[in-house]
Structure 1
């Protein structure tokens, strides 16, 4: 216990110990051993952080900055992030088990998000309205909301925090970040970059702890104007109920059960790689994981054979090893969830093609084999419910109409993949597939310019692109009477 690194919260520009004096351990998924201690935040700590953010929102040190000046601050964050990629990637890998080379690659790209929003900062504006009254000049402004609560999950802590942080800040808001209790370290290390960038105290705060004792007081706090959440459906339902206390605006990105569709004219070499990237990249712990694979019946056997051969070659191992292709799952609880779904798939009559068991013994890391099942019915629970692990379900199809129906037979609607050389077919499916993101002949591509979000149980609202900025602003309408004539009847609407 004594040699574990200890993290306090970051509140009002200071490193603050928890009000109850308690800390909890964070575990390295590759070793199953605790490696740091994190502050166990309580409602008192949340209140301090939100009040600090509220005061900072009104403070001229922040509120008095021009949008261009806010953009300069974000650009500085991007520069500092570029200088600290490897260090932050090591913290992230140690905390959630993702491949170091994957995190290093992801974080190397993340400065582009800050540069993009820095460039947008002074280009967010209202409109002049062509009003139907000649003596009135009417325009709109876009203004910040106030204090934003950002709740982030354990699978990509920094990336999913940046998606909220950058647009919220350039809009002029202040923010309180509550990372997952499983992966708080990388966010707290990132605050050292924020300190160097020169943000006024209270603009960015981080509180750590558990959902009930930290998340709930934050999302229901009377001074929170917006909550941006990425995570599971059940947690989202609690946040929606909490928002009734403060009537805060919400954006919810809740994952999915995304279809990946392979037609008989597809480039099969690329499609195999795309399927692997979609479900075995990040050990399947991705909101957009392509966990449902639909393969045209004319190429079904040959495609599955090629896919299985490559999957069996996937190198599962230490995430710090540059040769590893898949690391451990992030938590012991998630490993148990994966095991239970694999057992359920067998009970439901699905045929196990490859994988299906834990790798190693207790104490040697939370590793699980890349696993593939063949299904007959899309109604199987394993075809319907998000597993969030390296488990792929395959089913064949005959026609466009059939695969559209099967792909849309889901309570989720976040992402989809389509593999075909027929662009007419691609456009037809893009219109009919119920998903907020559709990739054609690629998968898991990202850009700061592209919105992310879904429908149905995948949530609502958008992150990324200019749309995200609108999520963090509100429109104000201004009426100016240009006439010098006396007022008309005050009891008659103008």
Structure 2
């Protein structure tokens, strides 16, 4: 991979690589060593305009939207094959760029292939329906058509799989794409551009611009030739996108922050609930939008669960993602290390008790211990705000009133996910209906499956990704009525 890292990385526009018109570059830093591992050019408004116009031409005049669904499917499957063949190098890039352990980045690369193959299979199943209207002698039907040019803005926590998943849904719908990955973790998106070339996509169907949010991201959201923005990231940025998209009323899908509750009942299988609840917040160093960072535990098993999770955290190997034994890697950046450390310090100052962890690990790299805190209250920042780090707050509850439990779990501005641990099927189904969250995982149930709609309530976002709903979010519905 040294040849790839030493390349002069530019922009992928209209099927070819091109330099930025600006002199600004971005230093890519390995969060495990704090060393610069690559330098990429920073695109701005000019590069975004070129990319959007290429995508516009590919949509308005190119073959992709009008291609037979099976032909779109075959190209997407070809891309899945070339990604699968390059999975080891993609995982390596993710690990040195984001910091995640190799076991996680390898799984993420495989998940990207799964997304592509799943959504490729949807290409031929998209369509409208015949409608029985209220008037006689009218033949009426609806058509599903691609929305047009999509600006896809992806985060740094799972760079490759998030980029591929957004792109796959838009491509299945027949849209063209301008992808703007996070400037913090751009390497796997640039490698994706090379693989798109290898797979034989028509020019302009996918374009990739690396740049800062203040420049490239802003230009993409505000561009009047973009028909839809699909964004995953912070709630604050999502709110700005809603306002900026008003210029041409472009469609918007937002997957934003979370402060997800994990609820553990006394009838739970504690042996499974301990590692399950722990990794719901410690995986990827807690840099997960659905992290179960508020841990509600029935008082009957509170001490047992807290002791178990603390012991589990103590046994997690924190280290470089390239170390095969590492289970927890570094945080992605110095800013993120300072942010997470600040939250822990704030919790302590407000009276929280650190049961385990809370410290930085080593002098080099952005490592922090998996942290368990207790003795919190609802007004603490550590309870109210998204930390995006490996920090979980354990909170006891006494009653079995599901309305009261749900009220405490729902006491947040967010509503992305929730976790339930119980062996009582009736209780599970009743509580799942009461929780204000887009994804309810029960006893370790799956998350972010390409077949399952995913998205948030409240300030966790707008719309749904994945599943048939995810693809339809990239389409418009047209009605046709014919007098017979």
Report the alpha carbon displacement of residue 21 of structure 1 after superposing the two structures with TM.
3.2
1:222 to 206, 221, 224: 224
Q: Deviations over 1:11-65 (max 9, x none)?
A: 0011111111332211000100111111111111110000000000022432331
CA offset digits 1:206-243 (Å, max 9, x no partner)? 01111111100100100000000000011112211210
Aligned partners of 1:5 and 1:260: how far apart in 2?
44
Query: Within 5 A, what are the aligned runs for 1:468-479?
Result: 468-479=470-481
Within 2, Cα distance between the matches of 1:451 and 1:170? 16
Secondary structure of the residue aligned to 1:431 is helix
Rounded Cα–Cα distance in structure 2 between residues aligned with 1:378 and 1:100: 36
Alignment of 1:297-446 (within 5 A): 297-361=299-363, 364-399=364-399, 400-442=402-444, 445-446=447-448
Choose 17-26 or 328-337, whichever is displaced more.
Answer: 17-26
Worse-superposed segment, 153-162 or 174-183: 153-162
- Root-mean-square deviation (CA, aligned residues, Å) is 1.3
- 1:82 Cα shift? 1.2
What secondary structure is seen at the aligned counterpart in 1 of 2:315?
coil
TM-score normalised per structure 1:
0.95
2:25 match: 23
In the alignment, does 2:282 pair up with 1:294?
no
Alignment of 1:202-213 (within 5 A): 202-213=204-215
For residue 444 of structure 1, report the CA deviation from its aligned partner.
5.6
- Rounded to whole Å, the distance in 1 between the matches of 2:144 and 2:445 is 34
Q: Which moved more, 1:33-42 or 1:173-182?
A: 33-42
- The answer to whether 1:249 aligns with 2:251 is yes
* Equivalent-residue separation in structure 2 for 1:444 and 1:395 (angstroms): 24
| Aligned mates of 1:341, 1:443 — CA distance in 2 | 29
Measure the CA separation in 2 of the matches of 1:369 and 1:398: 30
Instruction: Kindly state the Cα deviation for residue 136 of structure 1 after the two structures are TM-superposed.
Output: 1.3
1:447 to 446, 449, 474: 449
Give 1:233's aligned residue. 235
Matched, 1:185 2:184: no
Q: 1:164 offset after TM fit, Å?
A: 1.1
- Structure 1 counterpart of 2:70: 68
Would you say the 8 A contact 1:278–1:444 is kept in 2? Answer: no
Aligned residues: 479
Q: For 1:324 and 1:376, locate their aligned partners in 2 and report how far apart those are by CA, in whole Å.
A: 30
Aligned partners of 2:465 and 2:230: how far apart in 1? Answer: 9
For residue 413 of structure 1, give the secondary structure of its aligned residue in structure 2.
Answer: coil
The alpha-carbon deviation at position 379 of structure 1 amounts to 2.7
Quote how far apart the aligned CAs of 1:262 are: 0.6
| Aligned mates of 2:448, 2:258 — CA distance in 1 | 17
2:466, 2:178 → 1: CA distance?
19
Q: Which has the larger radius of gyration?
A: 1
